[in-house]
Amino acid sequence: MAFLELQSLTKKFGELVVVDEFNLSVEKGEFICLLGPSGCGKTTTLQMVAGLVQPTAGRVELDGKDITKLRSNRRGLGIVFQSYALFPHMTVSQNVAFGLEMRGVPSVEITQRVAEALSLVHLDSFGDRYPRELSGGQRQRVALARAIVIRPPIMLLDEPMGALDAKLREEMQIELRALQHRLGITTIMVTHDQAEAMTLADRVVLMKGGQVEQMGNPYEMYERPNGRFSSTFLGRANVLSGSVKDCKFSVGDCALPVASGALNGMADYIIRPEKIEFTNEEALLKARVCARVFLGNHWLYQVETSIGVMHVTRANDSPPTVGEGDQVGLRWDLANAHIVPQESPT
Ligand code: ATP
């Protein structure tokens, strides 16, 4: 039995099913990211775990106990939302102490635990400041301190870094990950940012239309996407739509060899841009480079082939040998291509 079990969790608003038979087992200490496009049901799922939204059907179990009907304030979970909701008229220390006071923790212990929590988020000397005297990143860390100080069995984070600029967000992601590892708090975080999910999560749960589309550790998810949606939501991908017959994938006038075992029928062929090489011999496809863009650590090429435009990325580890207008051959290791059943476009 996992630490947290979500079983067939379902939420309907009227006729609208926003979370549909959602199942997830979370181990103690795991960091889970719920990832997916806007409106796919991430926040509603998190709020059902928090006890802020009552499920229409299904069950939430924490440490073997059914908490589906338990009120939010009885679950003792640490919750951080995008709007940090700090009390503006209270100092940082008072904000962090609030949850402990509500629980009737003795004041000596409160002082000690607040100091510990502020130290964990590197705000030791900020206790006497007011929220308005802090930067966005510092406020965000106060919100985290406020959640961890109650030593919750589970921390629930809903886009906690949504209001930060890109650089600060990246720094905070690394800090949050280190903090979570140090404390070992089981954490579920909602994000629509795939890079954030990959940075933080032990396991990514990719959602679409209220259901789990794919879940796994970030590397598995990236390397073995189970369909067009997964491959393009988590990273970039070239997705060719065609059909498989007798170990050949046919698209337009082109036939690509496929590894044995692929089932005959309509299929999508997925190949990541960085898995494609330029070659002068044994090309799988011929192409013309129509654009080349420099992105610092890599080059992005847009190439035109007989079956459409594709993208190729090459690491910036030496001066580029291919330029706009060049005729090139494209080659990739067939083991890096994924043949998946066709999905209806989203
Ligand atoms: P975002 O990334 O935009 O926050 P999300 O994946 O977190 O999206 P939810 O907030 O869970 O999505 O919303 C899922 C769907 O449920 C949306 O279509 C939303 O409009 C709808 N919804 C959410 N709350 C309610 C409500 N109280 N009443 C009616 N519909 C709601």
**pLDDT tens figures, 158-180:** 988 877 778 878 888 888 888 88
How high is the pLDDT of residue 50? 93
Verify whether ligand 1 is closer than 6 Å to residue 192 (CB atom).
Answer: yes
- Using the mean position of ligand 1's atoms as its centre, give its distance from the Cα of residue 153 in Å: 26
Return residue ranges of the chain for CATH 3.40.50.300.
Answer: 4-223
- 345 pLDDT exceeds 60? no
* pLDDT-based confidence at residue 83 (cuts at 50, 70, 90): low
Structure tokens that stand for 83 in this block:
């709007």
Verify whether ligand 1 is closer than 6 Å to residue 39 (CB atom).
Answer: yes
- 78 pLDDT exceeds 90? no
Per-residue pLDDT tens digits for 216-228: 999 999 999 999 9
Q: In the CATH scheme, what architecture does the domain 4-223 have? A: 3-Layer(aba) Sandwich (3.40)
- Using the mean position of ligand 1's atoms as its centre, give its distance from the Cα of residue 278 in Å: 44
How high is the pLDDT of residue 176? 86
How high is the pLDDT of residue 201? 95
- 259 pLDDT exceeds 80? no
For residue 174, what is the enclosing H or E element? Answer: helix 166-183
Mean pLDDT of the residues in the chain: 91
Residue nearest to atom 16 of ligand 1 (CA): 18
Q: In the CATH scheme, what architecture does the domain 236-341 have? A: Beta Barrel (2.40)
* pLDDT-based confidence at residue 103 (cuts at 50, 70, 90): confident
CB 49 within 8 A of CB 6: yes
CB 187 within 8 A of CB 157: yes
How high is the pLDDT of residue 302? 97
- Using the mean position of ligand 1's atoms as its centre, give its distance from the Cα of residue 127 in Å: 36
Return residue ranges of the chain for CATH 2.40.50.140.
Answer: 236-341
DSSP string for 64-109: TEE-TTS-HHHH--EEEESS----TTS-HHHHHHHHHHHTT--HHH
- Using the mean position of ligand 1's atoms as its centre, give its distance from the Cα of residue 41 in Å: 6
* pLDDT-based confidence at residue 45 (cuts at 50, 70, 90): very high
Residue nearest to atom 15 of ligand 1 (CA): 39
